[in-house]
A and B are shown apart, each in its own frame.
Chain A
Amino acid sequence: MSDSPDGQEGAPPLEIEVEGLRKTFGRREVLKGLSFSLERGGFLSIFGPNGAGKTTTLRVLATLLTAGGGTVRVAGHDVRDDPMPVRRTVGLISHNPMLYLDLTAQENLRFYGDMYGVDDREARITELLERLELSHRRHDVVRTYSKGMRQRLAIARAILHRPRVLLLDEPHSGLDPRAVDILDGLLTEIRDEHTFVMVTHNIAKGLEWGTRLMIVEDGRIVYERAAGVDPESFSAVYREHVQEGSVL
Chain B
Amino acid sequence: MAILRKDLIRELRTREMIISMILFVLLAMVIFHYAFSVKEDADLTYFTGGMLWVTFIFAMLLGLNRSFAQEKDERCLDGLLLCPVDRVTIFLAKTAGNLVFLLIIQVVAVPVFTLFFVSRSYVGDLVPFLIVMLLADVGICALGTLLATISMNTRSRDLLLPIIFLPLIVPVLIAATGATTLIFAEGAGFGDLLARVLFLLGFDAVFLVAAYGTYDFAIGE
Contact = CB atoms under 8 A, between A and B. Distances in A.
A31 B219 CA distance: 23
Q: Which of B3, B5, B6 has the most CB of A within 10 A?
A: B6
Nearest to B11: A102
Nearest to A99: B74
Interface of B: 1-3, 5-6, 9-10, 13-14, 70, 73-76, 78-85, 221
A98 B78 contact: yes
Interface residues of A, number: 29
Nearest to A92: B82
A66 B81 CA distance: 13
Contacts of A114: 1-2
Interface of B is mostly: helix
Nearest to A60: B221
A115 interface: yes
Given A63-B82, A97-B74, A111-B3, 10 more contacts: A88-B84, A92-B78, A98-B79, A100-B6, A100-B70, A101-B74, A102-B70, A107-B6, A112-B79, A114-B1
A85 B1 CA distance: 21
Interface in A63-105: 63-66, 84-85, 87-88, 90, 92, 94, 96-103
Contact of B84 (A65, A87, A111): A87
Contact of B79 (A63, A85, A102, A157): A157
A25 to B, nearest CB: 10
A141 interface: yes
A107 B84 contact: no
Contacts of B83: 87, 112, 115-116
Contacts of A90: 82
Contacts of B78: 64, 92, 94, 96, 98
5 closest A-B pairs by CB: A98-B79, A114-B2, A96-B75, A115-B83, A87-B84
A85 B73 CA distance: 27
A62 interface: yes
B76 A107 contact: no
20 contacts: A63-B81, A64-B78, A64-B82, A65-B221, A90-B82, A96-B78, A97-B74, A98-B82, A99-B74, A100-B70, A101-B73, A101-B74, A102-B70, A103-B9, A107-B9, A111-B2, A112-B83, A115-B2, A117-B84, A157-B79
Contacts of A65: 221
Q: Which of B3, B13, B83, B85 has the most CB of A within 10 A?
A: B83
A100 B10 contact: yes
A90 B83 CA distance: 9
B145 to A, nearest CB: 18
Contacts of B10: 100, 102-103
B214 to A, nearest CB: 16
Nearest to A111: B6
